[in-house]
Amino acid sequence: MAKTKFILDEERIPRHWYNIAADLPSPVPPPLHPGTGEPIGPDMLEPLFPMALIGQEVSAEREIEIPEPVRAVYRQWRPTPLFRAHRLEQHLQTPARIYYKYEGVSPTGSHKPNTAVAQAFYNKEAGVRRLTTETGAGQWGSSLAYAAAHFGLDVDVYMVRVSYDQKPYRRALMETFGARCVASPSDETESGRAILAKTPDSTGSLGIAISEAVEKAAQADDTKYALGSVLNHVLTHQTVIGLEALEQLEQLDAYPDVLVGCTGGGSNFAGLVLPFIGAQLRGGPSPRVVAVEPAACPSLTRGKYAYDFGDTGHLTPLVKMHTLGSTFVPPGFHAGGLRYHGMAPLVSHLQALDLLEAVAYKQLEVFAAGVEFARVEGILPAPEATHAVKGAIDEAIKARESGERRTILFNLCGHGHFDMQAYTDYFAGKLKDQTYDESELAMALAGLPSVQAAE
């Protein structure tokens, strides 16, 4: 009987994160100060992040040691299993071998704790007592809540008001882990009060929630801010996914011909693919690397590679990334973790270097793929992860059509247990293929900051 899942002993949790900066042919363009257009220094980030993380953000070291206390928390669920999708292969009648790395076994059901635990640890080491963050759907907020509980830190999560009201279960999970969850806009910050003064019944936005979390962190000496994607150090923490997968496949004497992941901010995708791309840059095999994004928020396939703000409120530095424009508001599709106007600068840079390709799928086709996958593999994917599932299925069908015995590896970054409303709506026929307004996208792109010209 062929094996279904490949599990490493917890002693095999990686001892280092992989930092691809050491192997890139050219560096990721630096973040710029929006006023001066000059690269920003570490000191400008210090009010928000502990120095250890700022150091990782700009490090060129290939290996960054994972502190033992972080590995100790990882032991609760890592190494995560690598599955061989025997039943999916049979179901698709494909000669391809399909593997998936499953991050849904974590305490909050996604890859997010990989970096949340690291960030909580470094903040604790730096004497921080409280973390602030924003959350939309709640995946990140609950992961930071879990991690902070381990290290005895308080957490204030500014949760977009509409999610706060509509997703009480994610909120309950955050509260279970001991976090304080605040509906944003709130009266706890200047930025929140300013919004409420104008719009008392504001339903909030991720941009507003970021402003509140950043403002709180900047004001208090014992408080810092934590971000769940986009930044280099966040992506680096996620490389435990790919490093484990490399070792698991090595034990099988297998290597992927195609890597697939879904992209929102880019962190789960990067976590899987960076170690493989790094191996390629050092002279190893060259798998195809496919980023799958939602057609309703297609930063890699429709965005511009340009300097832009990370938030709608324009409080962040300018970063060079594939962006739909910081004023672009994606329609309300269900993969909340993929509703970001930009793409991590590091992932954007890899696309500019032709090290990955991107594809966009619509909502109904990814949900159909998610249900198909659940029926044959027994795991219900998160709406975000259904994009990767659909991408992998399409690669397997291409392999069937060409008769090639390709090896496909994708990242199943989370389960959908907290997203059942989406599946309920799908079965009730209420889901639609959301689209954005082309003229609004054009306007958002036309409004990109003028620092572009100065380049």
Distance of alpha carbon 317 from alpha carbon 309, whole angstroms: 6
Distance of alpha carbon 229 from alpha carbon 277, whole angstroms: 19
Nearer to its own copies, 120 or 195 (CB): 120
Site for its own copies contains 141 (CB under 8 A): no
Helix H or strand E encompassing 5: strand 5-6
Site for its own copies contains 368 (CB under 8 A): no
CB of 424 to its own copies, least distance (A): 4
Helix (H, G, I), strand (E, B) or coil at 188: coil
- Give the footprint of its own copies on residues 403-422 (CB under 8 A): 415, 417-418, 420-421
Distance of alpha carbon 54 from alpha carbon 43, whole angstroms: 9
- The stretch near its own copies (CB under 8 A) out of 6-14, 19-27, 224-232, 431-439 is 6-14
CB of 377 to its own copies, least distance (A): 7
Site for its own copies contains 151 (CB under 8 A): no
Of the residues 15, 282, 375, 432, which one makes contact with its own copies according to CB under 8 A? 375
Q: Which amino acid, 70?
A: V
Of the residues 162, 352, 371, 441, which one makes contact with its own copies according to CB under 8 A? 371
- Give the footprint of its own copies on residues 315-354 (CB under 8 A): none
Nearer to its own copies, 116 or 324 (CB): 116
Residue-level length of the chain:
455
CA distances from 369 to 103, 213, 316 (A): 18, 36, 37
- Give the footprint of its own copies on residues 52-91 (CB under 8 A): 68, 71-72, 75-77
Nearer to its own copies, 83 or 361 (CB): 83
Residue 428 has phi, psi (to 5 degrees) of -80, 0
| SS3 letters across 273-315 | HHHHHHHHHCCCCCCEEEEEEECCCCHHHHCEEEEEECCCCCC
Structure tokens at 413: 């970054």
CB of 34 to its own copies, least distance (A): 39
Nearer to its own copies, 420 or 443 (CB): 420
Structure tokens at 91: 């179901």
C-beta of residue 170 within 8 angstroms of C-beta of residue 419: no
Nearest to 206 by CA among 157, 155, 168: 157
**CA angle, corner 416, sides to 136 and 376, nearest 5?**
155
Of the residues 12, 37, 67, 169, which one makes contact with its own copies according to CB under 8 A? 169
Of the residues 40, 218, 368, 374, which one makes contact with its own copies according to CB under 8 A? 374
Nearer to its own copies, 177 or 340 (CB): 177
Site for its own copies contains 252 (CB under 8 A): no
Of the residues 359, 380, 389, 412, which one makes contact with its own copies according to CB under 8 A? 380
- Looking up tokens 């027994």, which residue turns up? 378
- The stretch near its own copies (CB under 8 A) out of 103-111, 119-127, 205-213, 314-322 is 103-111
378 contact partners, CB below 8 Å, separation of at least 6:
none
The CA radius of gyration of the chain, in Å to the nearest whole number, is 21
- Looking up tokens 């921080």, which residue turns up? 128
Nearer to its own copies, 50 or 107 (CB): 107
Nearer to its own copies, 282 or 417 (CB): 417
- Give the footprint of its own copies on residues 175-234 (CB under 8 A): 175-178
Site for its own copies contains 379 (CB under 8 A): yes
Nearer to its own copies, 17 or 146 (CB): 146
Of the residues 92, 118, 144, 173, which one makes contact with its own copies according to CB under 8 A? 173
**Per the omega criterion (within 30 degrees of 0), is the bond before 449 cis?**
no
CB of 196 to its own copies, least distance (A): 24
Nearer to its own copies, 291 or 380 (CB): 380
Nearer to its own copies, 8 or 281 (CB): 8
Site for its own copies contains 378 (CB under 8 A): yes
Nearer to its own copies, 119 or 351 (CB): 119
- Looking up tokens 């991107």, which residue turns up? 358
Q: Could you tell me the sign of the dihedral formed by the alpha carbons of 147, 153, 154, 159, in that order?
A: negative
Helix H or strand E encompassing 74: helix 68-74
- The stretch near its own copies (CB under 8 A) out of 119-127, 193-201, 228-236, 374-382 is 374-382
Of the residues 109, 185, 266, 383, which one makes contact with its own copies according to CB under 8 A? 109
Distance of alpha carbon 257 from alpha carbon 410, whole angstroms: 11
Strand stretches in 374-452, DSSP E: 407-412
Instruction: Quickly list H helices, 295-382.
Output: 299-302, 345-352, 363-377
Q: Using CB under 8 A, list all residues that contact its own copies.
A: 1, 3-5, 7, 9-10, 68, 71-72, 75-77, 105, 107, 109, 146, 149-150, 168-169, 171-173, 175-178, 371, 374-380, 415, 417-418, 420-421, 423-424, 427
